[in-house]
Amino acid sequence: MNKFRKFTTFSTALIISALSGCGNNNNSGNDKIKIAYLPITHSLAVCELAEESKDIELVKYGSWTELMDALNTGRVDGASVLIELAMKSKEQGVNISAVALGHKDGNVIITSNEIENITDLKGKTFAIPHRQSSHNILLNEALSGAGMTIDDVNITELSPTEMPSALAAGQIDGYCVAEPFGAKAVSMGIGKVLYSSEELWEDSFCCGLVLTDNFMEKNPEKTENLISAYKQAGANLNPEKAKETAKKYLNQDDDVLDISLQWISYNNLDITKESYDTLTEKVIKYNLSENPPSYEDFVK
């Protein structure tokens, strides 16, 4: 199941030179565009963008909480982040906007090898990274398909890196989280894929590229070029390139990456109104938020 669709070979020279050419030409560091990310396959499009453009400064964080704090306080110009977390910040008055997706698909529901089907999770402990995540929505979708709800399982929030070891130790019975931490359980032989995201939610959302409104208002031309270069960087991530970039930024074993990168794609990272509206319906349905921002307010 290789999720990579046809990609276009394209020279990014034009876009990159346009990105470099706006604003001043001082590349000493002060005028670089600071983008926050976590070392996960879901952030490979910004990693690839940084490979292709010297105007991007990636700022690595170890948790979504730290990353969101940097974004919310304007210490970075943007972030590759769980879109529901960014929607919640917007709802709470932080001036940020989503300009593209981080990836398409690329999530799995992992369980211990003893779990045969979703009904076996009744009364068991299941980990998600954050209530505000597509991982929470995907679990809800899986349970809903069996006439169950989130109340039938014990939910715990763990950081992505903790989940494989927690599963191995029997502290949890399953998890859904950004990759490659699902693939890690498969690679270690301690867990299996119960569902992939596309089985539960067609063209599912997860991460987005989010920019601060302050940055966009002060740098309209730079913003436009950044978004174009970013989407092209995503399209350039063919399987070989994705693995090369992942090896450089993620510090994961080859076999973990080989498994994980089959599940994700980085093509066509536009956020359409139809797909965003589907997301907001799920956000409300599964009680992530009562009042998520509208497409018109949040997606630029």
139 interacts with Zn ion by CB under 5 A: no
Q: Mind spelling out the 3-state secondary structure of 120-162?
A: HHCCCEEEECCCCCHHHHHHHHHHHCCCCCHHHCEEEECCHHH
67 interacts with Zn ion by CB under 5 A: no
Q: Which is closer to Zn ion, CB of 82 or CB of 211?
A: 82
Q: Which is closer to Zn ion, CB of 56 or CB of 83?
A: 83
CA 265/CA 122 separation, integer angstroms: 32
Q: How far is the CB of 123 from Zn ion (least distance, A)?
A: 28
User: Which tokens sit at 145?
Assistant: 């398909």
56 interacts with Zn ion by CB under 5 A: no
83 interacts with Zn ion by CB under 5 A: no
Q: Which is closer to Zn ion, CB of 42 or CB of 88?
A: 42
Q: Which is closer to Zn ion, CB of 115 or CB of 242?
A: 242
Phi, psi at 42, each rounded to 5°: -65, -15
Q: Buried (b) or exposed (e) across 210-240, using 16+ Cβ within 10 A?
A: bbbeebbeebeebbebbbbbbbbbbbbbbee
Any alpha helices (H) in 56-132, and if so which ranges? 64-72, 83-91
Among 206, 259, 261, 271, indicate the residue that binds Zn ion (CB under 5 A).
206
- Going by C-alpha positions, the residue among 164, 125, 117 that lies closest to residue 142 is 117
Q: Which is closer to Zn ion, CB of 42 or CB of 222?
A: 42
Q: Which is closer to Zn ion, CB of 20 or CB of 63?
A: 63
Q: How many residues does the chain have?
A: 300
How far does Cα 67 stand from its chain's mean position?
13
Q: How far is the CB of 42 from Zn ion (least distance, A)?
A: 3
Q: Which is closer to Zn ion, CB of 40 or CB of 235?
A: 40
Asked whether the beta carbons of 75 and 273 are under 8 A apart, the reply is no
* Residues forming beta bridges with residue 217, ordered by sequence position: none
Please give the size of the binding site for Zn ion, defined by CB under 5 A: 3
42 interacts with Zn ion by CB under 5 A: yes
- Other Cβ atoms closer than 10 A to 57: 15
135 interacts with Zn ion by CB under 5 A: no
192 interacts with Zn ion by CB under 5 A: no
98 interacts with Zn ion by CB under 5 A: no
Q: How far is the CB of 28 from Zn ion (least distance, A)?
A: 33
Q: How far is the CB of 103 from Zn ion (least distance, A)?
A: 6
Among 207, 211, 246, 250, indicate the residue that binds Zn ion (CB under 5 A).
207
Span of 4-12, 85-93, 140-148, 200-208 interacting with Zn ion by CB under 5 A:
200-208
DSSP state of 299: B
CA 273/CA 98 separation, integer angstroms: 12
Proportion of the chain in helix, strand, coil states, percent, rounded to 5: 45, 20, 35
Q: Which is closer to Zn ion, CB of 20 or CB of 278?
A: 278
Q: How far is the CB of 181 from Zn ion (least distance, A)?
A: 11
Span of 53-61, 188-196, 201-209, 220-228 interacting with Zn ion by CB under 5 A:
201-209
Q: Could you list the residues that contact Zn ion (CB under 5 A)?
A: 42, 206-207
